[in-house]
Structure 1
Amino acid sequence: MSYKMIAGHELIPGKTIKDHIHVEGTELHIPHVFLCGEHKGPTVLISAGIHNAEYVGIQAAIELSGELDPSTLSGNVIILPLANRSGFENRTMSMVYEDGKNLNRVFPGDNKGSEADRLAHMIFNVFIKNVDAYIDLHSGDGFESLIPYAYYLGSSPAEETARQMISCIDTKYCVRSRCTTGGAYNLASIHGVPSVLIERGQLSLFSRDEIEADKADVINILKYLGVLEGSHKSYPKKELTEYDIDSPCTGCWYPSLEVGTRFAKGDCLGQIRDYFGHPIHECIAPSEGILLHQCASLNVIEGDPLIAYGVQTGKELS
């Protein structure tokens, strides 16, 4: 009998595989875990560390790889606990160490490009294209404060299943994304793989409560997908459209609001000052919204993310 093959591994029921895959044309070797269920079912990919300083998801993925028991699974769970390993080992925040590129901005990648391009190409073609559902774990970066929320891609072939996966995530808000380029989860959705991205944790910190919450969300989604036995929970949430504000200049940043705060059009969201303390830019809300994440460091860099906020669509998921 022949079994599904992914990354050179045969997914034999009951088998656990822990290995590294080499990214062709680079010195990169990426850890991965295969948990092959003893019963038939879908194959689900869980990734973390695409942004390598987002530690909540990385630790949750590492723990799940040791806690999920193949004898309890219907189908297969594949875990990439640390997609950007070289960035993690060199503490480069969101960037791949060798080329300085943001891995989650270059999908589907290029097998003739630089390291980030080749890494994205491998993840997409070896893993994402060969699974039935995908969960991507993220957090706030080392300079970002953030409230927990989740993304799914709207107007995609996999939208309805992704919406059901989103309902399994224990957050107050979700974003129906309009972005169809660059990212791993949205590219997967375009290619018919129902995918969600969970944001939880901030400032490159990782607490036990946040790690357990990530793990609980993943397990709840696996129950919905039929990979684990048991009924899943649904969590009502408000749906948002996300808008981003990048910094128009380099300087010192003084935010006015905490993440999670509602604001009105015209409210001051913060101020950038020069190194003498003089104001050089005031960030004014272009509409009402909810502050999802923002730069939480003193320094801001021209063109880098400053604020992301959500505007309610009027829809509620339940």
Structure 2
Amino acid sequence: MGVTTQTGEKASYLATEKHITLPVTVINGKSDGPVLLLTAGIHGDEFPSMYALQQLQQNLDPNAMSGVLVVLHLANLDGFHSNRIALNPKDEKNLNREFPGSADGTPTEQIAELLTREFIGKADFLIDMHSGSANQTLLNHVYSPFVGDDELDALTFEFAKATGMQHIVLYGDRPRDPNNSISYPNTAMTRGKPGLTTEIGHLAQSDEESVAKALEVARNAMYFLKMLPEKPKPHPEPIIYETIKYPKSSKTGFFKASVVIGDKVTTGQNIGTVTDYFGNLVESLKSPVDGTVMMVNQMPAIKDGQSVMAIGVEISE
């Protein structure tokens, strides 16, 4: 985006193109190595990784580093300043559903095109760092996508394990067409580049524990890629999930969960209720699978067809 960062230098700046402004740090290590892209704020209400990446860039010495670290501190600046859950107020679109974007499209589509061209286009590895929104409690986890390329999928899974996160979700539901890649990390995957999604923290909080965990993930990624001299610290007891199920309400009214994140549930177990506007029970929701509760909707407002939580299903032996 018109800025050159020399070998052994660090630069933090507001990168601009047309009507788009993005806060970026580039740290160009003294020695050769890969280009790692770490991104926060695809959704502007998910804060822990934003603080973690600020701390990371402030404490890295390019002369002690190999490769290039590109930090995109906040991809959805308008959503951040408008306090919006997930969306960009300029066009009411979710940036993580608009890739690879369009240079002539809506504001969100233009950001997606820019991220595809200028950021993913120059990266070798990507981590898209998220958290639970203001309306969600969430069990920390990492998505390890697969796209049917055995070598790429295996490398991506090793990358996911190296983050140190315990809960790893195998994820193959995104399109495999680079021209209809939909999400940010899938855009990297469809271009042959490992792309993870981390989910750390929730409820629009920026607690120290979640910030520290996001920072640990970022550092572990750099260790894995030999950009820093230490070794990554995988979780000693990783739990691998083969899918996530999203039970839905068939009624409109007030939802209240009867489980919390981390709970083990069995098929047919009660997981929550829906009452009408007068407090009358209209639906008892049951788990469709045996699994672990990964996310719970904490807002009572629910509509027919809306999901109420996420349940991870562990991979079978």
**Does the alignment reach a TM-score above 0.5?**
yes
* 1:245 matched residue in structure 2: 247
Q: Name whichever of 293-302 and 114-123 sits farther off.
A: 293-302
Task: Kindly indicate whether residue 199 of structure 2 is the aligned counterpart of residue 205 of structure 1.
Answer: no
Match of 2:77 among 85, 94, 98: 85
3-state SS in 2 of match to 1:104 = helix
Q: Note the C-alpha offset of 1:96.
A: 0.6
| Counterparts of 1:36 and 1:127, CA distance in 2 | 15
Q: For 2:295 and 2:17, how far apart are their aligned partners in 1?
A: 32
CA RMSD in angstroms comes to 1.6
1:260 to 247, 259, 262: 262
37-46 or 12-21, which deviates more: 12-21
Q: Which runs of no fewer than 5 residues in structure 1 stay unpaired? A: 1-6
Shift in CA distance, 107/302, structure 1 to aligned 2, threshold 3 Å: farther
Gaps of 5+ in 2: 176-181
Structure 2 match to 1:3: none
2:252 and 2:86 map into 1 onto residues whose CA distance is 19
| Contact 1:262–1:288, Cα closer than 8 Å, also in 2 | yes
Greater displacement, 74-83 / 150-159: 150-159
* 2:134 is the alignment partner of 1:142: yes
Q: 1:86 to 1:223 in 2, by over 3 A?
A: same
Instruction: Give the percent of matched residue pairs that are identical in Structure 1 and Structure 2.
Output: 25
Matches of 1:279 and 1:129 in 2, distance apart?
Answer: 52
Q: Does 1:177 align with 2:171?
A: yes
Cα-to-partner distance string for 1:288-309 (whole Å, 9 max, x where unaligned): 1111002012223455442111
Task: Give CA-to-partner distance per residue, 1:225-258, whole Å, 9 cap, x none.
Answer: 0111122222241111122234444421100100
Superposed displacement of residue 28, structure 1: 3.0
* Contact residue 247 and residue 287 of structure 2 kept, 8 A: no
Q: TM-score, normalised by structure 2?
A: 0.92
1:15 aligns with 2:9: yes
Residue equivalent to 1:42: 34
Residues matched between the structures, number: 307
Distance 2:17 2:26 in 1: 18
Q: TM-score, normalised by structure 1?
A: 0.92
The answer on whether the counterparts of 2:165 and 2:217 sit within 8 Å (CA) in structure 1 is no
Distance (whole Å) between structure 2 residues aligned to residue 39 and residue 305 of structure 1: 48
Q: CA deviation at 1:113?
A: 1.3
Map residues 283-294 of structure 1 onto 2, 5 A cutoff. Answer: 283-294=285-296
Specify whether residues 23 and 283 from structure 1 end up closer, same or farther in structure 2 by C-alpha distance, changes over 3 A only: farther
CA 183–300 in structure 1, closer or farther in 2 if over 3 Å, else same: same
Secondary structure of the 1:291 match is strand
Cross-structure match for 1:307 = 309
| Contact preservation (8 Å) 2:271, 2:287 | yes
Q: 1:301 to 1:101 in 2, by over 3 A?
A: farther
Q: Cα gap change, 1:249/1:107 in structure 2, threshold over 3 Å: closer, same or farther?
A: farther
Partner SS, residue 229 of structure 1: coil
SS in structure 1 at match of 2:246 = strand
